[in-house]
Structures are given as C-alpha cells and as structure tokens.
Amino acid sequence: MEADEEMEQLRSELLTSMARVEDEHFRIIISLMIRMMFTHENFMNSVYTKLNKIIEDEDRIRDIVLNGHVDTHSEHHNWIETKILLENDTKLQNKKFIRTVGAKVLIAIILLLLGYHVEILFTQLFGGK
C-alpha cells in the first residue's frame, strides 16, 4: 500500500471513529489527531516539493558544490594528481639519494678503520716503530 493510500485510510478511520464516539473529550482528542495528521502531511509535502525543486536543478547544485569551478573541476583534479605524483617521486628520489650518500660515508669509514688496523698489524708484523 502506498503512503497516500495509507494516509487516506487513516483519515477515513479517524473520521469514522469520531462519528461513533459519543464522549466529547474523546471526540476532541480524535479531532486534534486529525489536525496533527493534516499539519504533518502539509509540512512533509512542502519539504518534498522544496527538495524536489532543488534536486531537479542539477546545474545549480553543481555550481554551488564546486563553488563556481564547474568548467575547471576536472583540470584541478588532474593538476592535483600530477602534483601528488611529482611529490611522491621527489620523496622517493630523496630517500634513494640519502641512502646512497649514507652507504658511501659508511664504506669510507669502514675503509678508514680497516686501513688504520692494517697499518697497526703491518707495523707489528714487520717490526716497525
């Protein structure tokens, strides 16, 4: 059953119940329920109509969401993607450079230490100073 049919059935049941009730207090309560139902239905229809108008105007939504940059939106995405790729590539190259320099410095230190110890060893073996 659709929402409109349910509302119509509820309205009909409330009116039928109101006609059967003899107690004035209950009639007032049912009357208030009917008024609330109409108010709620009118409010929801108003909201639905406004939302429908907004949804139907896709160009305006796009312009609002993209802050007037509808024509250049794709270009902006491409520029950002390129910039991110370049930054990532630069970071990777920097890491490689630092590793390479670090490795060369480490090799130089090891060679220096080996040279020092070899000198001490040769001096002891061949009776130097």
Long-range contacts of 9-16 (CB under 8 A, 24+ apart): 10/37, 11/37
pTM of the model: 0.41
Tens digits of pLDDT across the chain (129 residues): 687 788 888 888 888 888 888 888 888 888 888 888 889 888 988 999 998 988 888 888 888 888 878 788 888 888 999 999 989 999 999 999 999 999 999 999 999 999 888 888 888 877 755
Which residue range forms the structural domain that includes residue 88? 72-129
Sign of CA dihedral 77, 83, 89, 95: negative
> 29 in a domain, yes or no?
yes
Q: Specify whether 46 is located in the same domain as 84.
A: no
With respect to residue 65, please indicate whether it lies within any of the assigned structural domains: no
